[in-house]
């Protein structure tokens, strides 16, 4: 995927563009529907589909005290966009200077530098300084700058509009089945593998240790899941997130990859959470801990189906 980070890079794109605009935190089913709709329209128009998003989340800059805990890092979003078929993204650094652009100036910064055919946005999209720009204004600007506007209706389920807020709430409650329904996939964390303390290997169950950038996680516990490596290989996993009271160690995010042998330090891995196996517990001895880990691995093997 090619990623741009500034309006000034847009003239390097030789093709007409169809852009999906959004923050896309979580890349839930509503976001996916918008991106897929833009991909379809782009193909019909002879344009290249592109996602335009922001880093960090705008509220981190404008109202830090109200900023939500982030579900997906920017690198994670790009991974998901790529799987959806997006090969081009504009990730704009969100600064106070950018927030001061009027809706007209924001759109002109794009249309003056590329051939824009379409902008796709979600329901009630707002943009520009003080969010005074709305879809009606965007359509007016589209007539002036010769691009079309597509506003996608909200995606709903039996409990209402699917949103990042609902995903965060369900994740806080440990309701992974609800999270999966809202996302259209298992919740995952995309992060680099870092050096651990080697305790898992000493116990006979080597683990990879992740250092996530995202901020919102499932509750502490042991989970069944799977890991997707950069090579494209997937492995069933027993995942631990939270404190490690038996060895008097602080919190960690680590996973034992069933059947994997090798070193992943320095690589990016996506870790998917399927189902909680148990809470974090303190065991009387390392032998008891090893026995429980063995049961956790067996449980994960039964729960996770990668066929």
Helices (H), 72-175: 74-84, 96-99, 103-111, 135-145, 164-172
- Dihedral of CA atoms 98, 99, 100, 104 in degrees, nearest 10, equals 80
d(CA 73, CA 182): 18
Strand 234-244 to 249-257 pairing = antiparallel
Helices (H), 85-234: 96-99, 103-111, 135-145, 164-172, 176-183, 199-202
d(CA 194, CA 255): 12
Residue 131 carries which DSSP code?
Answer: G
Q: How close are the terminal C-alpha atoms of the chain, in Å?
A: 27
Collapsing DSSP to helix, strand or coil, 227 comes out as strand
d(CA 209, CA 158): 38
Backbone phi, then psi, for 287, in 5-degree steps?
-65, -40
Catalytic residues: 254
Which tokens hold the place of 128? Answer: 């520009």
d(CA 269, CA 51): 23
């Amino acid at each position: 995927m090619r990623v741009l980070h500034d309006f000034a890079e847009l003239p390097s794109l030789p093709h007409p563009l169809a852009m999906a605009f959004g923050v896309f935190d979580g890349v839930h089913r509503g976001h996916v529907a918008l991106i897929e709709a833009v991909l379809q329209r782009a193909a019909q128009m002879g344009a290249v589909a592109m996602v335009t998003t922001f880093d960090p989340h705008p509220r981190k800059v404008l109202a830090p005290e109200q900023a939500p805990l982030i579900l997906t890092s920017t690198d994670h979003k790009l991974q998901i966009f790529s799987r959806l078929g997006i090969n081009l993204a504009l990730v704009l650094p969100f600064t106070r200077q950018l927030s001061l652009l009027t809706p007209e100036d924001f759109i002109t910064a794009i249309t003056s530098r590329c051939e824009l055919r379409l902008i796709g946005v979600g329901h009630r999209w707002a943009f520009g300084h003080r969010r005074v720009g709305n879809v009606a204004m965007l359509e007016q600007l589209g007539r002036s700058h010769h691009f079309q506007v597509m506003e996608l209706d909200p995606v709903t389920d039996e409990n209402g509009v699917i949103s990042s807020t609902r995903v965060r709430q369900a994740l806080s409650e440990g309701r992974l089945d609800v999270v999966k329904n809202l996302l259209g996939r298992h919740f995952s964390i995309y992060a680099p593998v870092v050096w651990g303390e080697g305790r898992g290997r000493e116990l006979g169950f080597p683990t990879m240790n992740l250092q996530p950038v995202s901020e919102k996680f499932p509750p502490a516990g042991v989970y069944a899941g799977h890991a997707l490596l950069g090579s494209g290989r997937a492995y069933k996993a027993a995942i631990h997130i939270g404190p490690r009271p038996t060895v008097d160690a602080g919190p960690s995010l680590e996973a034992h990859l069933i059947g994997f042998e090798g070193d992943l330090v320095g690589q990016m891995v996506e870790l998917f959470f399927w189902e909680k196996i148990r809470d974090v517990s303190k065991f009387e001895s390392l032998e008891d801990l090893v026995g429980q880990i063995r049961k956790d691995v067996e449980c994960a093997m039964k729960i996770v189906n990668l066929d």
